[in-house]
Structure 1
């Protein structure tokens, strides 16, 4: 017995070192390699005036419609803020203007979601209704077979523009319902009440009108479509 052992003390029998872990977890430290930053998109040669007109066509046509929507919304909202209808506009005309805005926006967004967004979404995530590859043509612009069954379904994910559509229509539908009840004389129009309803979707509408035109601008479109493809996009 060793001189250091106390009488009656148990002698340890396992003298082997503990086994090393098969797959030790690496610990990040100051010497760890930093993540690579995404490289900026390469600069493209300047467009000729004719090329710019072709690539910017959708943005210009969209802005034409959007300016009308801005003016209609601003006319209604300004009247609510100042508590005074525009000069020469009767109560009936004022209510009809609000209902007309809701009807035009409903039709405009329906056309976009049915025809324009699916077409642009084949190449541009800004207009894509679902996550990449979900329901989109595998062949890109030229079309192709849709992703078939057997694979793991990808969760649908709205793009920002479509999310804005939803927010706009939630508030706009409530506003239109209020105006219809006022028109049918179920209640009297109160500009303060109308303002509160318009405020719930107005900022998103104005943001959407600007953002959609920017996303259709020539510098974005040229990175995804050829001149011939641009000419073929209906508007």
Structure 2
């Protein structure tokens, strides 16, 4: 905070010298407040959170890979009916939405205190937004197939999944 005040004081000094300038430093020129470093205890807590969340992420990856493999091979998993496959997709979307809601409301605010990537308009929330857009398209496609409006076309499903798969953790 002292650095910010020093910067503002410097700009006041320039003003007094009648030198052309902006009234205040731009955001880019403002010194950034560094986040506090993690203590050993905090590292253990945050690392535990990461490991716990990775358990969920791994389950999402497994489901994603099952569905995506079906799309690339143009063949559902052995013994899985169309209804079961569509249900798997529905569950994936529903569970991922719940998971992201929990992360965004309860986990990210805690992590954001020490890691900027979890703060508003930063990488993690931006990634979630892109994933949610893809999940909405996936849900829409599955709903269309279930309603009979469309037939299940694994190539089309792959195109939908390709729209957001790279963003998944």
User: Would you call these one fold, judging by a TM-score over 0.5?
Assistant: yes
Q: Corresponding residue for 1:93?
A: 84
Q: CA RMSD in A?
A: 2.5
- In the other structure, the counterpart of 1:173 is 136
Distance in 1, matches of 2:97 and 2:118, equals 18
Structure 1 pair 188–125 and aligned structure 2 pair: CA distance change class (3 A): same
**Alignment partner of 1:191 is 2:154:** yes
- CA deviations 1:8-55 (Å, max 9, x no partner) are xxxxxxxxxxxxxx869xxxxxxxxxxxxxxxxxxx99x6xx997545
Q: 1:67 to 1:55 in 2, by over 3 A?
A: same
Unaligned runs of 5+ in 1: 1-21, 25-43, 130-157, 210-235
Structure 2 partner of 1:67: 58
CA spacing shift, 1:177–1:51, aligned 2, 3 Å: closer
**In the aligned structure 1, how far is the partner of 2:43 from the partner of 2:110?**
21
Secondary structure at the counterpart of residue 149 of structure 2: coil
CA deviation map 1:38-79 (0-9, x unaligned): xxxxxx99x6xx997545211110111010000000000110
Segments of 4+ moved more than 4 angstroms = 50-55
Question: What secondary structure sits across from 2:125 in the alignment?
Answer: helix
- Structure 2, unmatched stretches of 5+, are 1-17, 21-37
Query: Which has a greater percent of helix?
Result: 2
| 8 Å Cα contact 2:72-2:158 kept in structure 1 | yes
TM-score, structure 1 normalization: 0.53
Deviation at 1:171, TM superposition (A): 1.3
Rounded to whole Å, the distance in 2 between the matches of 1:124 and 1:102 is 27
1:78 aligns with 2:78: no
TM-score relative to the length of structure 2: 0.73
Answer 1 or 2: higher relative contact order, Cα 8 Å, separation at least 6. Answer: 1
- Please give the residue correspondences for 1:108-187 in structure 2 after superposition, counting only pairs within 5 Å: 108-129=99-120, 158-187=121-150
Higher gyration radius (CA): 1
Deviation for aligned residue 1:122 = 2.6
Q: What does residue range 218-229 of structure 1 map to in structure 2 within 5 Å?
A: none
Go from structure 1 to structure 2 and tell me whether the alpha carbon gap of 1:127 and 1:54 turns closer, same or farther (over 3 Å shift): closer
Give the Cα separation in 2 of the matches to 1:125 and 1:23. Answer: 36
